[in-house]
Structure 1
Amino acid sequence: MEQPSNRNIVRIIQGRREEAARRVVEEFPLRLRVNDRDLATLVCSPHQLNYLVAGFLRLQGFIDSLDDIIIMGVCQADAQAELRLKSEVPGQLRPILTSGCGTGITFNLPQSILRSSAALCRSYRAADVFHVMRELNDRAEHYRNHGGIHSAAIGDADGLRLYAEDIGRHNTLDRLAGEALFRNLDLQNKLLVTSGRISTEMVAKAARLGVGLLASRTSPTDKAIDLCEQAGITLIGYLRGDRMEIFSHPQQLTVNDHPAHP
């Protein structure tokens, strides 16, 4: 995990001025080159960059497993990741700048994956969702210390399985996807909780991972709700304490052993 730096600030409290130090997070632009082509610049936090890069490529549909990567080199000093893939990268990429912190980027929404996900029948317990979110909050030390960091986690009935944090909420999902590849973990039908707003690119990435429930401490966008409806994903917002609001597919969630119908 990266170490935040300290910056000198002037603090005003009740009209009084005082000098102080404030811990701030680092914003790290990582240049990504694939098959001798500049593919993207990922604005991220400078830790475990191999997870971030592998997860980004996985969620953009460029790789399915680590076997699809011939060579991967990440040089933090040069702020560059260089990869050689078995397959060719399409000649005409049409990147879409998304609403993610640090200018999230996505090249496509996996419509075929959304259709196949919608056909699944899933079941979750509200108690497990609350439990995984509590575990996420317990691990989010950086957010509590200085703010500016998003966190996300994958879990199930047994609790939290994967955890990631980054300055960009979309980057946290890439990190989870990459770590799952390195650890050979199947995320099909797991639940995903996040500290940040849920927008369409977050839903698309969750669907590509096979996640069936997506929950946040904050709000989803209207189009994220529509996309979750199409993908068969239970979408939960304002998950705080013992409260939650269910925006899509409530029948897949049981509360006190009863489906949470609208």
Structure 2
Amino acid sequence: MTHARPEFIVAPDPDDPRLSSAVTGIDQNGAPVETRVVTERPLTLYLNAQEVVTMMTIGDHPDLLALGYLLNQNMLRPDDVVTAVDYDEDLEVVVVRTERSTDYEEKMKKRVRTSGCAQGTVFGDVMASFEDVSLGGDAVLRTSWLASLTKKINTAPSLYLTAGAIHGCVLCEEDRPLVYMEDVGRHNAVDKIAGWMFREKVDPANKIFYTTGRLTSEMVIKTVMMRVPILVSRSGFTAWGVELARQAGLTLIGRARGRRFVALSGADRIVFDLDPAESDDEDARHRRKGAREEGDL
């Protein structure tokens, strides 16, 4: 299968045979049918000499996933010097080595189970740090940018369109997607982008974070910890997600499909420069996870 490559970074590659495989079954009529399913494999993360967690992932970009996970769990600071990220594919292990000595044995006993896919978890002191964050600045979101972004993202090649059962997250600037990551858990996709931002030294102050997943507490916490001021989703909200977004000053927009959206926090950043009546609705051929029919809104 050949895809036209977009102008922004898309990972994983939907054509990579390591990330999905063909499986034969039967359909509702009892007829043979072939479909593709995404891979899922364990990845054990070490920070220096300490084992931190084993994650289930599709297996691409283990270095970015490891860095982003540690950053979003407050185990790695933005100013830390990372001396190496070593990945052993056979052992399914990734080791992040830092100049600063680290010891998180006590910290890891304090866990908060979130509503993230595959039983997402954040550690206790993340919430303490979250309460100190207030997202200010001059970031804005034009409705024309939002309409453009949803179209570009929905028409980009993706593993979701090839095999389904996967979440996508995209870091954007104005109406330009910068990098698109996917994984079986939306928290993994977020962490990969956090790792990419750390590696590339990306300024988060004017960025927009887009996800196909629900706007849960975990999604809000991670976006705020990344200091990104605007979070957009195709899907809906949870009450705690909305409460945390309002507490941190995060612009929270859900059910964003074509010309339609709902903002439940930080609406002061939105610039209404697009007449919904004059813009196109989302093409049904490009609807992805989280899409609903018009009457559902």
TM-score by length of 1: 0.89
- Residue of 201, 226, 242 corresponding to 1:225: 242
Take 2:247 and 2:137, find their aligned partners in 1: how far apart are those partners?
Answer: 12
**Farther off after superposition, 35-44 or 204-213:** 35-44
Take 1:115 and 1:88, find their aligned partners in 2: how far apart are those partners?
Answer: 22
Task: Report the Cα offset of residue 189 of structure 1.
Answer: 3.1
8 Å Cα contact 1:66-1:181 kept in structure 2: no
Aligned to 1:153: 170
Moved over 3 A (4+): 108-116, 118-122
Aligned to 1:171: 188
Aligned to 2:43: 30
The letter of the residue matching 1:49 is P
Aligned to 1:3: 19
- Residue of 89, 93, 97 corresponding to 2:113: 97
Take 1:95 and 1:44, find their aligned partners in 2: how far apart are those partners?
Answer: 21
Take 2:65 and 2:157, find their aligned partners in 1: how far apart are those partners?
Answer: 18
- Residue of 90, 97, 106 corresponding to 1:84: 97
Task: Report the Cα offset of residue 65 of structure 1.
Answer: 4.2
Take 2:259 and 2:131, find their aligned partners in 1: how far apart are those partners?
Answer: 30
8 Å Cα contact 1:100-1:168 kept in structure 2: yes
The letter of the residue matching 2:52 is L
Task: Report the Cα offset of residue 172 of structure 1.
Answer: 0.9
Task: Report the Cα offset of residue 70 of structure 1.
Answer: 2.9
Task: Report the Cα offset of residue 87 of structure 1.
Answer: 2.9
Take 1:189 and 1:257, find their aligned partners in 2: how far apart are those partners?
Answer: 20
The letter of the residue matching 1:103 is Q
1:235 paired to 2:235 = no
Take 1:70 and 1:3, find their aligned partners in 2: how far apart are those partners?
Answer: 29
Gaps of 5+ in 1: none
Q: How many residues align?
A: 255
Take 2:81 and 2:73, find their aligned partners in 1: how far apart are those partners?
Answer: 13
Helix, strand or coil: the match of 1:139?
A: coil
Take 2:24 and 2:260, find their aligned partners in 1: how far apart are those partners?
Answer: 39
Q: How does 1:64-213 map to 2 (within 5 A)?
A: 64-65=77-78, 67-85=80-98, 86-92=100-106, 93=108, 94-108=110-124, 109-120=126-137, 122-213=139-230
Aligned to 1:61: 74
- RMSD, matched Cα: 2.0
In structure 2, do the counterparts of structure 1 residues 216 and 74 end up closer, same or farther at CA, with 3 Å as the change threshold?
same
Take 2:157 and 2:104, find their aligned partners in 1: how far apart are those partners?
Answer: 37
8 Å Cα contact 2:138-2:206 kept in structure 1: no
Helix, strand or coil: the match of 1:102?
A: coil
Q: Provide, for residues 107-159 of structure 1, a one-character-per-residue CA deviation record: whole Å limited to 9, x for no partner.
A: 14344455432444542212112222222222252212221111111112251
In structure 2, do the counterparts of structure 1 residues 112 and 35 end up closer, same or farther at CA, with 3 Å as the change threshold?
closer
8 Å Cα contact 2:139-2:205 kept in structure 1: no
The letter of the residue matching 1:82 is V
TM-score by length of 2: 0.79
Take 2:101 and 2:156, find their aligned partners in 1: how far apart are those partners?
Answer: 37
8 Å Cα contact 1:190-1:210 kept in structure 2: no
Take 1:229 and 1:66, find their aligned partners in 2: how far apart are those partners?
Answer: 27
Task: Report the Cα offset of residue 103 of structure 1.
Answer: 2.3
Take 2:80 and 2:248, find their aligned partners in 1: how far apart are those partners?
Answer: 28
Helix, strand or coil: the match of 1:17?
A: coil
How much identity, in percent, do the aligned residues show?
27
Helix, strand or coil: the match of 1:42?
A: strand
